[in-house]
Protein backbone atom coordinates (compact mmCIF):
# COMPACT_ATOMS: atom_id res chain seq x y z
CA UNK A 1 0.00 0.00 0.00
CA UNK A 2 1.33 3.43 -0.93
CA UNK A 3 1.76 6.07 1.73
CA UNK A 4 -0.28 9.27 1.74
CA UNK A 5 2.86 11.22 0.94
CA UNK A 6 3.58 9.10 -2.14
CA UNK A 7 -0.04 9.30 -3.34
CA UNK A 8 0.01 13.09 -3.01
CA UNK A 9 3.33 13.29 -4.89
CA UNK A 10 1.90 11.15 -7.67
CA UNK A 11 -1.16 13.39 -7.93
CA UNK A 12 1.01 16.52 -8.09
CA UNK A 13 3.17 14.98 -10.81
CA UNK A 14 0.15 13.78 -12.76
CA UNK A 15 -1.38 17.25 -12.63
CA UNK A 16 1.71 18.63 -14.36
CA UNK A 17 1.90 15.95 -17.06
CA UNK A 18 -1.52 15.97 -18.64
CA UNK A 19 -0.41 17.16 -22.07
CA UNK A 20 -1.79 20.11 -23.99
CA UNK A 21 -5.01 21.58 -22.62
CA UNK A 22 -6.00 24.14 -25.22
CA UNK A 23 -7.56 23.28 -28.55
CA UNK A 24 -4.65 24.92 -30.34
CA UNK A 25 -2.11 22.94 -28.28
CA UNK A 26 -3.94 19.69 -28.92
CA UNK A 27 -4.05 20.44 -32.63
CA UNK A 28 -0.29 21.09 -32.72
CA UNK A 29 0.47 17.95 -30.71
CA UNK A 30 -1.71 15.79 -32.93
CA UNK A 31 0.44 16.71 -35.92
CA UNK A 32 3.83 16.10 -34.31
CA UNK A 33 4.30 12.67 -35.86
CA UNK A 34 3.46 13.99 -39.32
CA UNK A 35 5.82 16.95 -39.01
CA UNK A 36 8.78 14.86 -40.11
CA UNK A 37 6.78 12.24 -41.98
CA UNK A 38 7.46 9.49 -39.47
CA UNK A 39 3.92 8.11 -39.66
CA UNK A 40 3.41 8.44 -43.38
CA UNK A 41 1.94 5.30 -44.92
CA UNK A 42 4.96 3.80 -46.67
CA UNK A 43 2.83 2.54 -49.57
CA UNK A 44 2.09 6.13 -50.58
CA UNK A 45 5.76 6.93 -51.15
CA UNK A 46 6.30 6.34 -54.90
CA UNK A 47 9.65 4.56 -54.69
CA UNK A 48 8.62 2.46 -51.72
CA UNK A 49 5.43 0.83 -52.99
CA UNK A 50 7.36 -1.34 -55.46
CA UNK A 51 9.94 -2.30 -52.83
CA UNK A 52 7.19 -3.16 -50.33
CA UNK A 53 5.42 -5.33 -52.90
CA UNK A 54 8.65 -7.09 -53.88
CA UNK A 55 9.49 -7.89 -50.26
CA UNK A 56 5.92 -9.05 -49.61
CA UNK A 57 6.14 -11.49 -52.54
CA UNK A 58 9.51 -12.69 -51.26
CA UNK A 59 8.01 -13.28 -47.80
CA UNK A 60 4.77 -14.93 -48.91
CA UNK A 61 6.01 -16.66 -52.05
CA UNK A 62 5.00 -16.36 -55.69
CA UNK A 63 1.94 -18.57 -55.35
CA UNK A 64 0.65 -17.12 -52.07
CA UNK A 65 -3.03 -16.83 -51.34
CA UNK A 66 -4.40 -13.27 -51.32
CA UNK A 67 -4.74 -13.09 -47.53
CA UNK A 68 -1.16 -14.36 -47.11
CA UNK A 69 0.08 -11.73 -49.53
CA UNK A 70 -1.85 -9.01 -47.70
CA UNK A 71 -0.38 -10.10 -44.36
CA UNK A 72 3.08 -10.17 -45.98
CA UNK A 73 2.52 -6.62 -47.26
CA UNK A 74 1.86 -5.50 -43.70
CA UNK A 75 5.08 -7.17 -42.54
CA UNK A 76 6.99 -5.59 -45.41
CA UNK A 77 5.61 -2.11 -44.80
CA UNK A 78 6.31 -2.35 -41.06
CA UNK A 79 9.86 -3.51 -41.82
CA UNK A 80 10.55 -0.56 -44.09
CA UNK A 81 8.98 1.87 -41.60
CA UNK A 82 11.14 0.51 -38.78
CA UNK A 83 14.26 0.68 -40.96
CA UNK A 84 13.48 4.25 -41.98
CA UNK A 85 13.17 5.38 -38.35
CA UNK A 86 16.38 3.57 -37.39
CA UNK A 87 18.20 5.19 -40.32
CA UNK A 88 16.82 8.59 -39.31
CA UNK A 89 18.16 8.13 -35.78
CA UNK A 90 21.57 7.04 -37.07
CA UNK A 91 21.68 9.99 -39.45
CA UNK A 92 20.92 12.39 -36.62
CA UNK A 93 23.73 10.88 -34.54
CA UNK A 94 26.16 11.13 -37.45
CA UNK A 95 25.31 14.79 -38.03
CA UNK A 96 25.84 15.57 -34.34
CA UNK A 97 29.11 13.62 -34.30
CA UNK A 98 30.37 15.50 -37.38
CA UNK A 99 29.34 18.83 -35.84
CA UNK A 100 31.19 18.09 -32.59
CA UNK A 101 34.30 16.88 -34.42
CA UNK A 102 34.34 20.01 -36.59
CA UNK A 103 34.08 22.25 -33.53
CA UNK A 104 36.80 20.22 -31.83
CA UNK A 105 39.10 20.58 -34.85
CA UNK A 106 38.57 24.32 -34.98
CA UNK A 107 39.35 24.66 -31.27
CA UNK A 108 42.41 22.44 -31.57
CA UNK A 109 43.70 24.48 -34.54
CA UNK A 110 43.23 27.71 -32.62
CA UNK A 111 45.12 26.30 -29.66
CA UNK A 112 47.87 24.90 -31.87
CA UNK A 113 47.16 21.38 -30.69
CA UNK A 114 46.65 19.82 -34.11
CA UNK A 115 43.75 17.42 -34.66
CA UNK A 116 43.47 15.97 -31.15
CA UNK A 117 39.86 16.55 -30.11
CA UNK A 118 40.33 14.62 -26.87
CA UNK A 119 42.21 17.59 -25.39
CA UNK A 120 39.47 20.16 -25.86
CA UNK A 121 37.65 21.41 -22.81
CA UNK A 122 34.05 20.41 -22.18
CA UNK A 123 32.74 23.98 -22.00
CA UNK A 124 34.32 24.85 -25.36
CA UNK A 125 31.98 22.50 -27.23
CA UNK A 126 28.40 23.65 -27.54
CA UNK A 127 26.35 20.52 -27.03
CA UNK A 128 22.92 20.62 -28.65
CA UNK A 129 20.46 19.82 -25.83
CA UNK A 130 17.70 19.23 -28.37
CA UNK A 131 19.54 16.19 -29.70
CA UNK A 132 18.38 14.08 -26.77
CA UNK A 133 14.76 15.17 -27.22
CA UNK A 134 14.93 14.42 -30.94
CA UNK A 135 16.46 11.00 -30.31
CA UNK A 136 13.85 10.23 -27.66
CA UNK A 137 11.04 11.18 -30.03
CA UNK A 138 12.44 9.05 -32.83
CA UNK A 139 12.96 6.24 -30.34
CA UNK A 140 9.30 6.30 -29.37
CA UNK A 141 8.20 6.07 -33.01
CA UNK A 142 10.80 3.39 -33.65
CA UNK A 143 9.41 1.36 -30.75
CA UNK A 144 5.90 1.69 -32.18
CA UNK A 145 7.17 0.56 -35.57
CA UNK A 146 8.90 -2.41 -33.93
CA UNK A 147 5.65 -3.38 -32.22
CA UNK A 148 3.77 -3.05 -35.50
CA UNK A 149 6.37 -5.25 -37.18
CA UNK A 150 6.01 -7.95 -34.51
CA UNK A 151 2.20 -7.81 -34.65
CA UNK A 152 2.20 -8.09 -38.44
CA UNK A 153 4.62 -11.03 -38.30
CA UNK A 154 2.39 -12.81 -35.80
CA UNK A 155 -0.64 -12.12 -38.00
CA UNK A 156 1.17 -13.49 -41.05
CA UNK A 157 2.23 -16.63 -39.18
CA UNK A 158 -1.31 -17.11 -37.86
CA UNK A 159 -2.70 -16.95 -41.41
CA UNK A 160 -0.20 -19.59 -42.53
CA UNK A 161 -0.94 -21.82 -39.53
CA UNK A 162 -4.67 -21.51 -40.12
CA UNK A 163 -4.28 -22.69 -43.71
CA UNK A 164 -1.97 -25.53 -42.64
CA UNK A 165 -4.59 -26.71 -40.14
CA UNK A 166 -7.29 -26.57 -42.81
CA UNK A 167 -5.23 -28.85 -45.05
CA UNK A 168 -4.87 -31.51 -42.36
Say whether both 61 and 136 belong to one domain: yes
CA-closest candidate to residue 75, choices 151, 139, 140, 144: 151
Say whether both 147 and 88 belong to one domain: yes
DSSP 86-129: HHHHHHHHHHHHHHHHHHHHHHHHHHT-TT-GGGS-GGGS---T
Say whether both 66 and 139 belong to one domain: yes
Stated pTM of the model: 0.63
Say whether both 5 and 46 belong to one domain: no
Distance between CA atoms of 137 and 129, rounded to whole angstroms?
Answer: 13
Answer yes or no: is 140 within a domain: yes
Answer yes or no: is 64 within a domain: yes
Say whether both 24 and 68 belong to one domain: no
| Residue span of the structural domain in which 11 resides | 1-30
Distance between CA atoms of 99 and 81, rounded to whole angstroms?
Answer: 27
Say whether both 48 and 75 belong to one domain: yes
Q: What was the pLDDT predicted at 153? A: 93
Digit-coded pLDDT (tens) for 95-146: 888 877 777 777 667 766 554 444 445 444 566 678 888 888 888 888 988 9
Amino acid sequence: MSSKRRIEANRRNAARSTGPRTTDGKQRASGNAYKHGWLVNMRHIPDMSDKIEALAVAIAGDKAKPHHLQAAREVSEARFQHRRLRDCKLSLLEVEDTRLRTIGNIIADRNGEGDDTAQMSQDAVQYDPDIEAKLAAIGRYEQRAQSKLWRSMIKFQAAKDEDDEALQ
